[in-house]
Every structure is written in C-alpha cells, then in structure tokens.
Amino acid sequence: MKQLTTLFALLLLLIVTPMVATSCTDNTDDEKQDLEFTTNWKKRNVAYFDSVLTLARQKVAEAQAQYGDDWQSHCEWRVFLSYAKVAGGPSTDTICARVINTGTGTESPLYTDSVKVNYMGHLIPTESYKDGRVFDHSGIYENSDYVFNDNYSTPTTFNVSNLVEGFTTALMHMHVNDRWMVYMPQEMAYKSSASGVMPAYSTLCFDMQLKQIIKK
C-alpha cells in the first residue's frame, strides 16, 4: 500500500510540474509584454514618430529637388499638415503617409462626407510585435489578407468628421482605392486616453484603404 501511495505521488508530481512550469512561463511572457507597453511608453512613441517624420521629410525633399512638380510620382512618402491646424506649428501637427497602392480616383472626401474604409490599426513595433500590435481593424478577421482582399473585405463606414484628427486628415487627402500606411502622433490620435490594448500616449500606425466616398 505504501509503495502504491509513493507511486501515485510520483505520477502526480510528473503531471503537475510541467503545468506549473508552463504557468510560470506564461506569466513571465505576460509580464514581459506588459512592460513593453508601459516602460517609457510615451517617450518611445514620441521618438518613433519623430524618426518616421524625419525620414518622410527627407525623402520628400530629395524627390522635390530631383523631380520638381512631378515628385509624387517618384516618392512613396507624404507629409500632411492637420486639417485643423495652420502652418508653422509643432511637428505634432502633421501626419506621415507611405503610399502602398495608388488608386484611380481623382476626388478626395470632404469633412462633411462619409466614407467606406478598409483598415488595420497598429501600435509602434515592439520586441513581441515586430509589425506593431493590432488594436483595431475593419471586417471580421485580424489578417491583412482578408481586410484588404476585395473578395472578403467588409469596409467600415465612417463620418469623416467623427474620427480622430490624424485619420480625418489622411482621408481628406486620399482618393478611392488609395492604400496608405499612415503614422500619426498621439496629439492627433487619442492623446492621454487608453482603450483596450492601446495604451495612452500611443503613436498610431494605420494601414488604410479608401474604398468609397459617400457625398452628403
């Protein structure tokens, strides 16, 4: 009987030990990810946006110097002043956009219009999320192969005026079927507000595609 009890205890130990180890590992991973989105988060987000803005301005300046008025045909970067600001303000009054695909439309949405948009919203890259953690997206699946595939996509309808400043600014420069990666500082996004997996003071990176303009 004593031998059976000892055997049972050993078997229980073999079962429980991996479970405990897995639990500890999971907890460690969770703690690591928590630190990624808390440690110097605001400072890191400011630095990230500044680095993207510096690159965008450099590429735009080089293209303008070389190609003149035709620079946009030779440069994938754009820099836009907020629709709500005047020139001469801080760099946080601007957004950057990297052109992924150029559409065929010639008209841009007005502030009073509505739009249909495919999009995926990312935070800045971290160790665990090399492309940035996704915090929001159109459609059902958190996968760009679905979000931007015409056979599967389900664009979200927005009033242009009801969005954060950076998103609205980008839309007002886009044409139908343009797809851009848009970078906006926290001042033109959610500022000190946090929501879900998105911490406060987050620079936002939106992969967005304008699908339709609905005139008011």
Segment-wise mean pLDDT, segments of 10 residues, the chain, 216 residues: 54 54 55 83 98 98 98 98 95 97 94 98 97 95 92 95 98 98 98 95 98 93
pLDDT of residue 12: 54
pLDDT in tens, 73-108: 999 999 999 999 999 999 999 999 999 999 988 999
CB neighbour list of residue 96: distance below 8 Å, 6 or more residues apart: 49, 52, 53, 56, 77, 78, 79, 80, 182, 183
| Cα distance between residue 203 and residue 183, in whole Å | 7
- Tokens 């044409």, residue? 175
The predicted model scores a pTM of 0.85
pLDDT of residue 216: 79
| Cα distance between residue 103 and residue 17, in whole Å | 57
| Whole-number Cα distances in Å, 178 to 4, 94, 102, 141, 169 | 71, 19, 5, 21, 14
pLDDT of residue 105: 87
CB neighbour list of residue 116: distance below 8 Å, 6 or more residues apart: 155, 156, 157, 210, 211, 212, 214
Going by the DSSP 8-state scheme, the letter that residue 155 receives in this structure is: P
Q: Look at domain 41-214 and name its CATH class.
A: alpha beta
